[in-house]
Structure 1
Amino acid sequence: MKDEREMTRVLKEPEERKAEIMDTAQELFHIKGYEATTISDILEKAGIARGTFYYYFKSKDEIMNAVIERGIAEQIQTLMPIVENNNLNALEKLKQLIVENDRKNAENADMLAYLHQPENIVMHQKSLIQGVHQSAPLIAQIIRQGIEEGRFHTEYSLELAEFILVGTSFLFDSSIFHWEREEYSARMKALADILETTLRTEQGCFKFLHLLAKKT
């Protein structure tokens, strides 16, 4: 038993160290911004040698990508209970995902604000890209469920999911577009119409987006 515990500790140690370095980098990116943070800053704050850093990461860009991928993966993990809930139909799942994502964005307002800073533009762009890559398969899975249920009708579940995510991520990004309340509401209503049209589903299925827009 002792040998097994020691083996487990040794095997876990590199991952724990890697996570600690990522935590340090993320904290510095938040405080100083990605552009202003140097590898030397990370080494000093983490208390590690340069060789240790390069054992896990080839560059500052690589550790940034790792931080972004981890953050998005954690967000997606919180949504999996909705995606995997067999008691919900596809439309109910999409509705809950949209509402939950809106709630998460409100909770993480500080995190989003720091991504929107000019010095973090690279992180912001890569976050949007990774968000689409990791989220699209989940949305596509729900769309395929809707097709099986006879609610949705499309031959392009993944591609449609990508278009939806790219469009909403860009158009509703407050660092790019500064919509007045009425303008935002109009675009949410348009989104409801677009979803109903592209998924060829019943009119009014996404009317809840109208109500969501009023709360924003």
Structure 2
Amino acid sequence: MNDKKRLILDTAIKCFANKGYHATSIQEIADTAGIAKGSLYFYFKSKEHLLISIFEHGFTEFMTKMQAIAGDSDIEPRERLIRLTEVQFEQFVENHDFIMMLFKEHALHINEDMKQFLFGLRAQTIETYRSHILAIYGEEARPYMLDGASLFSGLNHEYSQYVLFAPESLDFRKLAEFLADRLDDVMFSMIAKRPEPILSEAKIEQFAEKAKMFSFKKARTVYDEISLLRKLIEGLQLESAQREDLLSSIQVLEAEFDKPNPQKVIVKGMLAVLKSCKEKEIRQVLQHIEAYL
């Protein structure tokens, strides 16, 4: 990720955390970042696309760290679960603005892509807890894995709010150990009393299967359009001089859109050169690029 794109993401997170997603405009984000609005649109087609990119980037980093711990077979399962919980709290503090953004205005319910993404994240979390519960408590715990995972997730969520708003008052290691002890209480009680499970293993399989379907339908940016245009032209059978002219025009387009205020005259001039290509797909891409002016 280049520096400007990262700047836009970080600035948007702060703005959304302070004012909420709906109350923040693209212009405010651009002004706060010290860039032109057009430059922001070079990387993100819309405010919604920007929000989705924030989620994708933030949770990808978070899950990468969590999965590294979850997959460490050198650590015994109970200690691994404690460490997972401790790192989760540490990540909350390190990414305070991002987490605060999640609390604002229920911004998570923007569209179906966002709901699907969060559904998938939830499934991954429950699956991680479930596998650790089975490893810690053995086969007797199998009927109660999902109930135990859901209860443990709920405890973590509730205490995460204290971590977020008053981290200096809590010892994350002690808190993680405390929550693991409470999981002991819950699991040993269910194993001993053998109540009928509320959530069955069949349900978690169904839940996990649905989660596999989640994906982001990323909105295209002018940068994506220009990249596609280059690939299409490189795939054409052209004379070397014409190919060089067309690729040079694309290079000028990229350079112009990377400026805070792209010059329309220059962009239109390059598009005019590129319109010498009559292929339908290329003409469509050129129309998309022209729409950014």
TM-score for the superposition, normalised by structure 1? 0.54
Q: AA paired with 1:70?
A: H
CA deviations on 1:98-127 (whole Å, 9 max, x unpaired) are 2332344455566655654xxx22247789
| Contact 2:78–2:132 (CA under 8 A) maintained in structure 1 | no
Match of 2:105 in 1: 121
Match of 1:47 in 2: 35
| Contact 1:83–1:93 (CA under 8 A) maintained in structure 2 | yes
Match of 1:35 in 2: 22
List runs of 5+ in structure 2 lacking aligned partners: 163-177, 193-293
Match of 1:213 in 2: none
- Residues 165 and 60 (structure 1), Cα distance of their counterparts in 2 relative to 1, 3 Å cut: farther
Q: AA paired with 1:69?
A: E
The Cα RMSD (Å) is 4.6
Q: Say if 2:54 is the partner of 1:67.
A: yes
Match of 1:87 in 2: 74
- Residues 138 and 24 (structure 1), Cα distance of their counterparts in 2 relative to 1, 3 Å cut: same
Q: AA paired with 1:121?
A: E
| Contact 2:134–2:142 (CA under 8 A) maintained in structure 1 | yes
* Structure whose CA Rg is larger: 2
List runs of 5+ in structure 1 lacking aligned partners: 1-11, 176-186, 202-216
- Residues 54 and 105 (structure 1), Cα distance of their counterparts in 2 relative to 1, 3 Å cut: closer
- Residues 47 and 90 (structure 1), Cα distance of their counterparts in 2 relative to 1, 3 Å cut: same
- Residues 94 and 168 (structure 1), Cα distance of their counterparts in 2 relative to 1, 3 Å cut: same
Higher relative contact order (CA 8 A, sep 6+): 2
- Residues 149 and 35 (structure 1), Cα distance of their counterparts in 2 relative to 1, 3 Å cut: closer
Secondary structure at the aligned position of 2:53 is classed as helix
Identity across the alignment (%): 21
Displacement after TM superposition at 1:38 (Å): 0.1
The number of equivalent residue pairs is 174
Displacement after TM superposition at 1:162 (Å): 6.8
Match of 1:194 in 2: 186
Match of 1:9 in 2: none
- Residues 25 and 165 (structure 1), Cα distance of their counterparts in 2 relative to 1, 3 Å cut: farther
Displacement after TM superposition at 1:87 (Å): 0.9
Q: AA paired with 2:35?
A: G
